[in-house]
Amino acid sequence: MNNYNCIFLDRDGTLNSDPGYISSLDDFSFFDFTIQALKKIAESGNQFCIITNQSGISRGLIEQESLDEIHSFIKKEFQKNQIPLLDIYVCPDHPNNATERRKPGPGMFLEAELDHGLNLLECLMIGDSAADIEAGEMLGMDTMLVLTGRGEAALKELSDFIIPTYVVKDLLEGVKIISQ
C-alpha cells in the first residue's frame, strides 16, 4: 500500500453522490463504498483532508449553518470509523469571483500544508473534477480521478498535458490500485 503524507479528498462526487448543491444534511449521503474504502486506506497509516469548493454559499443556495452541520456529520463518521481526518477545507467563492483558495487554485492545499506540517510532494489528491486533478498535479502530487460524480466529463475536459496518475471507477477501486 502506498503510504502518503496525506490524502486529499474532494467531497461531492468523490465521497458522496452529487445531485447538485447539497443544502441540508437530509440531502447528503456517502456512497455505499466510501467508509469501507477509507478505512482500508487508513489501515496502512494514511491520513486525510477534505478539500471542497462550495460556491452554493456565495450563490445563496446553501446556508453556512447547514454546511457546518454536514461537515460535523462527516467528521463524526470519520471519527466513529477510526478514519484520521485532519480537517475539512472549504472555499465558498463564486467561480466568477474566485480567489486562489478555489480549486484548481492552491490556497486550501497550502493552508493544510501549513496547518499540519505536510509535504505536498508526498500527497495524493482524489477527486472527480478536472479542477481536482489540475490542483494536485500543479502541486506535484499523485492524482486519482474517480469516474463517479463528474469524473467521466472531467476525463474529457483534461488537456493532453494534465494526466491523472490513476483513473478508477470509484474510490473502492482506487483503494485496490494503491494497495498493490
- List all residues 6 or more positions away from 43 whose beta carbon is below 8 Å from its beta carbon: 1
- List all residues 6 or more positions away from 11 whose beta carbon is below 8 Å from its beta carbon: 50, 52, 74, 88
For residue 120, the 8-state DSSP code is G
CA distance 141 to 36: 24
CA distance 46 to 22: 28
Give the residue numbers annotated as catalytic, written as ranges.
10, 12
Report the interhelical angle of 171-178 vs 34-43 (nearest 10°). Answer: 20
